[in-house]
Structure 1
Amino acid sequence: MWRVRRIVVKVVTEYLPRETFEIISQSVEQTQHIGQCLGRLLQGGELLLFEGQLGTGKTTFTQGLAKGLGITATISSPTFTILKEYAGRSRPMSSQVEGDGCPGPALYHFDLYRLEDPDEVLDLGFDDYFTGSGVCVIEWSENADISWLAERLAIHIQVLNETERALRFIATGSRYCELLLQLQKQIYASTGF
């Protein structure tokens, strides 16, 4: 007798709006700054999927993102624990989208490098995080079958040389396309770019 634990519906993303943005970061500080700009825009419920080889700057970007969310804890890669949770903190009024002084969303930082089976992420019950009210950052997202999450912001980081990184953002879904447009405005309005 067969027993079905979960049924996962694969979502076709070809009909969703899609936008792409590429930028070159010339230093660790610029990578963190780009992350911080994105963090300031996040309201909770966002899904950020990172791809890139070891040492490309995924955690470095996430450190800046956390700062933009108002999180002051030290951010490190959750390689051995798979998930690290950081509580949301109050953000300055100028960095909030709504500006209401409420705490920012929690940050759920995943590292799926050690997953051996693409379905393991579901077996571990992490799917609830992906659709919750926090900000989900998933490093090594290609190691899991999360194709059922149609709307997302994918961030591909590539090493160009010792200090430079190419960051390619791919927004899928209208919410993420708008987020990407706002991110571009934030980056170009700031100094250093």
Structure 2
Amino acid sequence: MSKHQLVTNNANETALLGEKLASLLEPGDVLTLEGDLGAGKTTFTKGLAKGLGVKRTVNSPTFTIVKEYEGRLPLYHMDVYRLENSEEDIGFDEYFNSHGISVVEWAKFIEEYLPEERLNININYDEGDSRTIEFSSTSSHFDSVISELRS
């Protein structure tokens, strides 16, 4: 299990980091995104979507829980904030065991449904528009992804 931190100076760099990450992902990969409101989780996901070839506008699925996008690989963008203290399972296994990429914002609220193998991403505010983005892996596959992101 490895960890790595990167700093982005603005929203554009945060999106570009997501775009670069997209090129390293494989079908079935699950990413969790944590960070305060407005930290850049959706901005990061927009970059990821662009890197996956998604043509539609990506926005936060706060009220729908899951939004699906077609690209080189399908993107399943989840915002599970509204499921805090809920027993509801909206078929997470079907997404996590698919050939798409699952991105889960506020993943701590559905910890019991998450697969063990995933890439955890935490986005934190710094001064101004800069962000510290911490990647932590739970598998050798994501160790390699983190290693590629560093270069």
The TM-score bracket by the shorter chain reads: over 0.9
The residue number in structure 1 matching 2:118 is 152
Listed as ranges, the gaps of 5+ residues in structure 2 are none
Rg (Cα) greater in structure:
1
The 8 Å contact of residues 117 and 144 in structure 1, kept in 2 or not, is answered as no
The 8 Å contact of residues 46 and 135 in structure 1, kept in 2 or not, is answered as yes
2:136 alignment partner AA:
I
- For these two proteins, the number of residue pairs brought into alignment is 151
Query: When the two structures are superposed, what TM-score results if normalisation uses the length of structure 1?
Result: 0.75
Structure 1 vs Structure 2 CA RMSD: 1.3
Query: When the two structures are superposed, what TM-score results if normalisation uses the length of structure 2?
Result: 0.94
| 1:12-161 paired onto structure 2 within 5 Å | 18-88=1-71, 104-117=72-85, 119-120=87-88, 123-146=89-112, 149-161=115-127
Listed as ranges, the gaps of 5+ residues in structure 1 are 1-17, 89-103, 186-193
- For the residue of structure 1 that corresponds to 2:20, the secondary structure is helix
Distance 1:148 1:178, change over 3 A: same
Measured in 2, the distance between the counterparts of 1:179 and 1:161 equals: 27
Tell whether 2:145 aligns with 1:179: yes
- For the residue of structure 1 that corresponds to 2:64, the secondary structure is coil
Q: Percent of aligned positions with the same letter in both sequences? A: 42
Following TM superposition, where does structure 1 have runs of at least 4 consecutive aligned residues deviating by more than 2 angstroms? 116-120, 145-148
